[in-house]
Amino acid sequence: MSESSSNPTSSALLFQTDFPPSEFATRRKRVFNQMEDNTIAVLQGASPIGELELFRQSNEFYYLCGIEVPYAYLLLDASSHETILYLPERNLEQERGEGPILNADDTELAGKLTGVDEVRKTEEFAADIAGAKTVYAPKGGAEHHNPLDLFNTHPKREAYFIQRLKDFCPQATIQDLSPIIFSLRALKSPNEIKLMRRAGQLTGSAVEEAMRCTKPGIMEFQLRSVADFTFLANGARGGGYPAIIAGGANAWHGHYFRNNCELQDGDLVLMDYAPDYGYYTSDIGRMWPINGKYTAWQRELYGFIVEYHKVLLKLIRPNVLASQIMDEAAMEMEDLINRTNFSKDYYEKAARQALEFRGHLSHTVGMDVHDRGDYRSQPLVTGTVFSVDPMMWIPEEKLYIRVEDTVVVTENGIDNLTQLAPLELDDVETVMKEKGILERLHSIEYFE
């Protein structure tokens, strides 16, 4: 065992503490159950982003062992149901500069932390897979080449790994491991939900603080800075995906991410941003008036979507199809539309068209904000986490209105993981009267 594993205090800092080794072992067992006999599965860990940048492991690799070391490999043998972890050799020069790093000398420690059966050096990986006949490896999503980038000849890292596998074991058939892992990730364990609940709390807190800080004249990126501070100050590694902070007409572009425009009096601002907390994230959408007071038309449109949102949240429950929930919500909201005097005919048209849209119960959420796994083709089950994201479009005025929360299905309904963010319009206006962190710190010239 290396010196890095002789100090329990420093060693604990080398490894995640959110999941016990038994949970990783259970996940690997479920992978084995979907593999054919006499096959192996192999995964490559991520490579470092750059010198002295915080390393983040790939989701698939982390999901199966929790190791946060660059250049690691994992081998799952379906015949023996044994797992081998491959780690780089100890680098004394690197450790002198950066501190202890889990390495191939830490066999006992790495085995204890992950529950794998054996720990070997990365140099042994190629020889160990050379005789394989069938190899499962993650292929990830489809590879897209931009035709405008004429000289882009570099394949995705997953594709390059597949090619190298073919070089090392040319006789082998390569199968895609990604669908197996994605199917497992669709349902969240109690430990995963615990992390996601914390990510949701930080998401809601960040949005609420951004509301307090919003004033005409500040920049979109300043609201992102408020969220980043909230995330980092509470143990997240930063944002889980590119921030969408879209003032005024920018909200029409659903995935606007530049965040470099000034917020204007009389406009709404849309915020969609969540942290990367323990390799898990959340998802949210809130819109609020930049001057702190919703206008009549803003209350009319955003208020309608908020009511739609509340109906959906109320109806979500286990053992029913998402499509049934959508149908039930549409019936309830149609009655509301019939009782509402819309100020413009095309506002009413947009509201009715929103009832026909089938994407309001949106994507799964987890290690990715658009996580893996399908939940719509079968009745909802407890442990499913997805975003509830009712939306409407008014093309006549290029208005896009939406509100979003991340929920987990429970035995009795849902747990709204992002409920800390104010939802009711009156509550939003009340929060916006409070002094925000930007004003308290007197950090910018806009608050004179």
Q: How many residues does the chain have?
A: 448
Q: What is the pTM of this model?
A: 0.93
The helix/strand/coil state of 431 is helix
Q: What crossing angle do the helices spanning 425-432 and 190-213 adopt, rounded to 10°?
A: 60
Is a pLDDT exceeding 90 seen at residue 7?
no
Q: For residues 305 and 446, what is the distance between their CA atoms, to the nearest angstrom? A: 32
- Give residue-wise pLDDT tens across range 185-229: 999 999 999 999 999 999 999 999 999 999 999 999 999 999 999
CA distances from 359 to 100, 124, 147, 312, 341 (A): 47, 48, 30, 12, 26
Q: Confidence band (pLDDT; 50, 70, 90) for 372?
A: confident
Q: For residues 324 and 316, what is the distance between their CA atoms, to the nearest angstrom? A: 10
CATH, range 190-440:
3.90.230.10
The helix/strand/coil state of 113 is helix
- Give residue-wise pLDDT tens across range 141-172: 544 445 556 555 556 778 889 888 988 999 99
pLDDT: is 162 or 272 the higher one?
272
Tell me, yes or no, if the two domains 3-185 and 190-440 fold the same way.
Answer: no
For the chain, the domains span: 3-185, 190-440
Residue at 84: amino acid letter: I
- What pLDDT is attached to residue 333? 98
- What pLDDT is attached to residue 397? 97
- What pLDDT is attached to residue 155? 60
Q: What is the DSSP letter of 79?
A: T
The b-or-e profile of 341-362 (16+ CB within 10 A means b, else e) is ebeeeebbebbbebbeeeebbb
Degrees to nearest 5, angle at CA 249 with 243 and 251:
35
Q: For residues 309 and 197, what is the distance between their CA atoms, to the nearest angstrom? A: 20
Q: What are phi and psi of 46, to 5 degrees?
A: -70, 160
CB 11 within 8 A of CB 100: yes
Q: For residues 55 and 365, what is the distance between their CA atoms, to the nearest angstrom? A: 22
Is a pLDDT exceeding 80 seen at residue 348?
yes
Q: For residues 366 and 10, what is the distance between their CA atoms, to the nearest angstrom? A: 29
| Of 259, 291, 289, residue with least CA distance to 272 | 259
Degrees to nearest 5, angle at CA 44 with 43 and 46:
135
Task: Name the CA dihedral angle for 194, 198, 199, 202, rounded to a multiple of 10 degrees.
Answer: 170
Q: Confidence band (pLDDT; 50, 70, 90) for 447?
A: very low
Is a pLDDT exceeding 90 seen at residue 448?
no
Q: What are phi and psi of 148, to 5 degrees?
A: -75, -20
Q: For residues 99 and 93, what is the distance between their CA atoms, to the nearest angstrom? A: 10
Best CATH choice for the domain 3-185 from the list 3.30.930.10, 3.40.50.620, 3.30.420.270, 3.40.350.10: 3.40.350.10
- What pLDDT is attached to residue 445? 55
Q: For residues 410 and 426, what is the distance between their CA atoms, to the nearest angstrom? A: 29
Q: Establish how many alpha carbons lie within 13 A of residue 151's alpha carbon, considering only the half-sphere containing its beta carbon.
A: 0
- What pLDDT is attached to residue 9? 37
pLDDT: is 287 or 152 the higher one?
287
Q: What are phi and psi of 215, to 5 degrees?
A: -145, 150
- Give residue-wise pLDDT tens across range 303-339: 999 999 999 999 999 999 999 999 999 999 999 999 9
Q: Confidence band (pLDDT; 50, 70, 90) for 53?
A: confident
CB 294 within 8 A of CB 302: yes
Count other Cβ atoms within 10 Å, centred on residue 327: 13
- Pull the structure tokens for residue 269: 């601002």
CB 313 within 8 A of CB 408: no
- Give residue-wise pLDDT tens across range 114-124: 999 999 999 99
- Give residue-wise pLDDT tens across range 20-50: 999 999 999 999 999 999 999 999 999 988 7
- Show Cβ contacts of residue 357 under 8 Å, excluding neighbours closer than 6 positions: 391, 392
- Pull the structure tokens for residue 298: 């803003």
| Percentage, residues of the chain above pLDDT 70 | 92
Q: For residues 278 and 134, what is the distance between their CA atoms, to the nearest angstrom? A: 33
Most confident of 154-158, 245-249, 371-375: 245-249
The H or E element spanning position 320 is none
